[in-house]
Amino acid sequence: MTVRKAITLAVVFTIVGLIVGLTISSNFNIQSKAYTEDAIISKEAIDILTKSNQALSEVAMAVKPAVVNISSQRTIKSQGNMGQFFNDPFFRRFFGDEFRFFDRPRERRQQGLGSGVIVDKDGYILTNYHVIKDADEILVKLSDKREHKGKVIGSDPKTDIAVIKIQADKLPTIKWGNSDNLKVGEMILAIGNPFGLTQTVTSGIISATGRANVGIADYEDFIQTDAAINPGNSGGALVNVRGELIGINTAIFSTSGGYQGIGFAIPSNMAKVVMENLIKKGKVVRGWLGVSIQQITPDLAKQFELKDEKGVLIGDVVEDSPAEKAGLKRGDVILELDGKSYNEPSTLRNAVAAIPPGKEVTIKIIRNGKTMTVKAIVSEVPEDLKKFTAPTEGVLKGVKVQDITPEIRRALSLPKRITGVIVVEIAEGVFAEQFLNENDIIIEINKKKINNTKDYVNVLSQMKKGQGALIYLYRNGSTIYMTIPSN
């Protein structure tokens, strides 16, 4: 083939390709135009969507008036930042004490924003504890623009619930829903004041229920939702399609500080029990059995010859507790409490805490392969346990420990020579979090031997305020000394 013929053929193929391409493009545009002009949305589809929109709008309009904006103000004192210079003898020798004026404590006002839900016509408002924590002044703004000063009736940091009250008339309220009946996938609305934008409504579904070990509160049984929850939504309402309160919006899981599709709400049933306790008694009275419980792992199920991993394992029984009086023993597996099954320690703990002291309960257990039932009378948490479950001050503030059970010893392969108490939980943000880890075995504190939790309590009670601690502990197969300075 000559060069001229090759060029001629290339030109012909190019022209043909252009013609075909233009034809296809033209046909596609004609078809797209025809499709756009001829596309019809069926009347049935429009009716369904219209009814759905109307229903959600009615729910939102019904519950919005009961959701309020809460602004709190607190005074924060801070030390001047020149103390290191004024405390220097050389500096004071030349300049005297006159300049110490600049190092006096400073006060500044900090403002916080959140939400609340009016649950009673007498003016009781449910919100989060962290919304009103340490507040000197609380201002409640209603949906009709009225503003009232709020008074704290009571708070419960263990569940992050607080109750405040305002003096006002003609207050809108919200109906209570039963959070125990929630189902994953159920449609819900979240209402609050994110970033101070009042009366904001977002929608979503129930993503999960019974979320625990999130690290937000001591007693956790959170509802998880994908409805947008942002800063300022805390204390707002989570409602179902019947306009009933099923949760109090509390927190989000986020790596950016903003909404990422995972929000948490306190179930309404838990919030209601806490609220009633705070209003009637000024404190939360929780039920107590006196057992240490843990998750059943595949290895534990095998060791205890269990058919499956259902139930929770009793690791220890407190002396003279309701559990001991009922005949419960270490190694028993609790299957049911009053006919309801439990497989998570946190949910069983929450259930017991919600039982009024003095009530008799039926407990179904497995012992040595045999199923049996026992009856126990729930009591209130003893004062000494309330006080020392985790220290509320000092360098070991927020560090929870428990005795070492045979099960724990086997699970961690602890040598026989290692005795003490095991760290089971460290509150988020406390000073000791920088030094201790969960599963550390504390053997000595300030050269005093720790054999059990009673020793731990006694040593801590003798420590002076602000005193540091020398800890001798066992971690990852070896013993080490560690100093925790006064904070």
For residue 86, pLDDT beyond 80: no
Q: Whole-angstrom Cα distance, residue 49 to residue 47?
A: 6
Q: Whole-angstrom Cα distance, residue 372 to residue 131?
A: 46
pLDDT tens per residue across span 99-145: 555 555 566 666 778 899 999 999 999 999 989 988 889 999 998 88
- Which range among 83-87, 381-385, 423-427 shows the weakest confidence by mean pLDDT? 83-87
371: tokens are: 């199923």
Q: Which residues of 81-96 are buried (b: 16+ CB within 10 A; e: fewer)?
A: eeeeebeeeeeeeeee
Query: Domains in the chain and their CATH numbers?
Result: 62-284 (2.40.10.120), 287-381 (2.30.42.10), 388-484 (2.30.42.10)
User: What pLDDT is recorded for position 328?
Assistant: 94
For residue 186, pLDDT beyond 70: yes
pTM for the whole structure: 0.66
For residue 255, pLDDT beyond 90: no
Q: What mean pLDDT is predicted for residues 46-62?
A: 89
Decide the pairing of beta strands 151-156 and 237-239: unpaired
User: What pLDDT is recorded for position 32?
Assistant: 47
Q: Are 433 and 416 in contact (CB under 8 A)?
A: no
In the set 115, 155, 160, 346, the catalytic residue is 160
Q: Whole-angstrom Cα distance, residue 151 to residue 75?
A: 17
Q: What is the band of 252 on the pLDDT scale with cuts at 50, 70, 90?
A: confident
For residue 9, pLDDT beyond 90: no
DSSP letter string, 344-371: -HHHHHHHHHTSPTT-EEEEEEEETTEE
For residue 8, pLDDT beyond 80: no
Quick one: residue 105, left, alpha or beta (phi over 0 = left, psi -120 to 50 = alpha)?
beta
pLDDT tens per residue across span 12-37: 455 545 554 545 555 545 454 444 55
Q: What is the band of 11 on the pLDDT scale with cuts at 50, 70, 90?
A: very low
In the set 71, 72, 115, 130, the catalytic residue is 130
Structure letter (DSSP) for residue 93: H
In the set 71, 115, 179, 234, the catalytic residue is 234
Question: What percent of the chain is predicted at pLDDT more than 70?
Answer: 81
Q: Whole-angstrom Cα distance, residue 299 to residue 313?
A: 12
Task: Give yes or no: 130 in active site.
Answer: yes
Quick one: residue 170, left, alpha or beta (phi over 0 = left, psi -120 to 50 = alpha)?
left
Question: What percent of the chain is predicted at pLDDT more than 90?
Answer: 37
Q: What mean pLDDT is predicted for residues 281-286?
A: 88
Q: What mean pLDDT is predicted for residues 27-55?
A: 72
Q: Whole-angstrom Cα distance, residue 238 to residue 201?
A: 10
Q: Are 335 and 372 in contact (CB under 8 A)?
A: no
Quote the mean pLDDT of the chain.
Answer: 82
For residue 282, pLDDT beyond 60: yes
For residue 3, pLDDT beyond 50: no
Task: Give yes or no: 268 in active site.
Answer: no
- Which range among 170-174, 196-200, 297-301 shows the weakest confidence by mean pLDDT? 196-200
